[in-house]
Structures are given as structure tokens and as C-alpha cells.
Amino acid sequence: MDILITGGTGFIGRLLCERLLQQGHRVTVLTRTPGRTPPPGVQYVGQLDDVGPVQAVVNLAGEPLTEGRWTEARKQAFHASRIGSTRALLAWMQTLPAPPQVLVSGSAIGYYGPGDATPLDEAASPGHDFAAMLCRQWEAEAFKADALGVRTCVVRTGIVLDRDGGALARMLPPFRLGLGGPMGDGDQWMSWIHREDLVGLILWLLTHDTARGAYNGTAPGTVTNRGFATALGEVLHRPARLTTPAFALKLAFGEMAGLLLTGQNVVPARALEGGYRFQYPTLDGALEAILR
């Protein structure tokens, strides 16, 4: 297939490009820096008008939520990079003589809002905080592609784990020094996924014609924050008992600290029911594979 990726230079997009090329697909990446040299086999474009005919679109664009305080300017950037960019994609699709066959668009487990230990599948109700509203609007924009005859899937992504980026890369330095541990009381749930499994799920959605709607991009083996800290400490052979107080996180990050101090027990019910097989269903196995 000819596939367009937005966000293709990011943490998830880079690996997705690699796997698509390995499977023989042709990849175009929409990027704000098209003058850079792309990886072999990938074409960079700076605007949608430069994109040739494609059979699939993967929409991963979005400013990271967890890098600093949520000022009003950053909230506007979160909105523009998700809802605005998805709206632009839909407007472009409407101009095409033959729209793509499938759209796989990003979302996040923040869709569900803060939760307790209750398992949440894709039918669970959305939350009402800022992150939840952002995800709801993002998904609503993507699902407008249904009206164009485009098979549309959204992936509500959890905490993506791998060595060279994302949350784990930021955790490793203090944990390796024996300075890691739970955040707040540590009882909040962490719904995570290995980067290979998230990319595998996107590939699965692209190629399974019966897949449509929302899918939770999380591993089956969810844990609490305290359980995550313990597991990471054990893999690194370091103590992981130094708690970061909730007040310190709120002082440092303001509203964004809510993402660190609350969580959701999100289960990938639809992926499992559809037959997707996780390479790393448990946290211990994922961390061992990443850090061994």
C-alpha cells in the first residue's frame, strides 16, 4: 500500500515507518521539516497538496502532553496539533477523487478521565477533564471520515514503553541511581504498552478490513504506579522506594500533574476479541525485553 503518516518522525512514527517498509509498503511522511533527509525508502512532504494517491493514512500528530506545565498557549497547541491537524486531513480527503481506504488515528486513554481499579474497555464512558475533552474532540474529528467511506479506527494509547524515548526514557536515569519510586500514593493505575505492540496494533488495524471504531492501545497486564516502580527497580537491580510527594508534582507541573497522580485501568478488550496477539502482555516481560 501507499501510506501517509502524520507524526511519522516521532517516537511511535519512526518505528511504524520501519515496520511498514519491512512489509513492502510505500511511506510518505507529512512533516514540518521536509528539508531533512528522510530514512531510506521514506518520502518527506511539507504539505498535503504534495501527497500522491494513498490507500491508507495513519494520523499520529500531536504535541506531547507530559512535557511541562499546561499554559493556555500550550493547551491551544495541544488542540491545534490534534483537532486542527485532523480537520485538515479530512478537508484534504474530501478533495480527492478516491479517498483512502482506511484511516488509523491517534487518541489516548485520557479519554476516560481519572479512574479507579475498575477495568475500562472501549465501551466505558468518557471523562470530563481537559485531557478527556481533548481526546473526545480529536476522535470526533477523525470519525467524520466515515462519511467519506473511509474505514476509520482510533487508538486510545496508554503509556508507551521503549528504551529510546517516551516515559521510560525519562524514568531510567533516577531509577538507575536508586532514586526512583512511586508518584504520590502509588495506587493510581498505569495502563502501558510496549512500543512494538502499539506499532503492531496499528499495522493490524490497517490490514484487517473488519476493524473499525475505537481500540484501546494498552497491554493486558495493567499495574499500579507502585507496581510499575517495583518492577522497574527489580529489572535494574536497584531499590525503588523513594516516593515523589503529590504536592511536589503539583507545584512543579500544575494541572498536568493530574496525569501523573491519577490513572485508569484500561484493558484492550476489542484487540483481544479481534485476535490481535501481544508480544509483551506483561510488564515484567516488556521491561526485560527493553532493558536486557
Query: Per residue in 151-185, pLDDT tens?
Result: 999 999 999 999 999 999 999 999 999 999 999 99
Give the three cell numbers for residue 29.
511522511
Which CATH fold would you assign to the domain 2-291?
A: Rossmann fold (3.40.50)
Residues near 54 by Cβ (< 8 Å), separated by ≥ 6?
Answer: 1, 2, 3, 4, 28, 100
pTM of the model: 0.96
Q: What's the whole-number average pLDDT of the chain? A: 96
Cell of 183: 508518584
Calpha distance 119→253 (Å, rounded)? 28
Average pLDDT over residues 57-72: 91
Q: Where are the domains of the chain?
A: 2-291
pLDDT at 35: 86
